[in-house]
Amino acid sequence: MAVEFPALPYSSDALEPYISTTTMEFHYGKHHKAYVENLNKLISGTPFADLTLEEIIKETAGEEKYQAIFNNAAQAWNHNFFWNCMSPEGGNAPKGALLKKIEKAFGSYDQFCEEFTNAATSQFGSGWAWLVEDKEGNLSIMKTSNADNPLAHGLKALLTVDVWEHAYYLDYQNRRLDFVRTFLTHLAKF
Ligand code: MN
């Protein structure tokens, strides 16, 4: 059983002008695809081939001998999740119970945006910023390096932004802050 490379939830030009078609073609069509292909090569003929993507991540997290499998599995999952954290109609605060939880944790949606932006821009090198929920339902913000993700730490991801340079360099060059602000203002979907 191979891990799936899912279709994007929208066309590659749907997030223009905020994320260009060229970025999507490279980011989804080359980078994301390569993580899935590498993972399938690494797990072929091993017991990992019978597990779901989530199970592979949990089984290999923190295990040095499985680091290559973890890195590719986590990056495959992170990108699946990231594409679904954006929409051409995105950029609005969530409603209902999630908004109440955000207000409880951060004071306001604006304050959440500020803390999320700080995490995304202060992540040194490649990585991700996340809104996460623990088992008690408490929300917090975390940043992770490289492929690491909340699943590996027993947390549920609610929102993420990819801050690897491949996510924004063609459109924003070194201006990661502009990319993250644009993500929150025009693309983010909870
Ligand atoms: Mn990426």
Pairing mode of beta strands 127-133, 139-145: antiparallel
CATH of residue 174: 3.55.40.20
Does residue 91 form part of some domain?
no
CA 44 / ligand 1 centre spacing (Å):
24
Domain count, the chain: 2
Could you tell me the CA-to-CA distances from 171 to 11, 15, 16, 102, 174 in Å, in that order? 18, 12, 10, 30, 9
**Domain identity same for 72 and 100:** no
CA 114 / ligand 1 centre spacing (Å):
22
Q: Any residues with CB less than 8 A from the CB of 54 and at least 6 apart, and which?
A: 77, 151
**Domain identity same for 74 and 127:** no
Residue-wise pLDDT for 21-35, tens only, equals 999 999 999 999 999
Predicted confidence at residue 176, as pLDDT, reads: 98
Residue-wise pLDDT for 85-142, tens only, equals 999 999 999 999 999 999 999 999 999 999 999 999 999 999 999 999 999 999 999 9
CA 162 / ligand 1 centre spacing (Å):
6
Q: Coil, strand, or helix at residue 125? A: coil
CA 32 / ligand 1 centre spacing (Å):
7
**Domain identity same for 106 and 66:** no
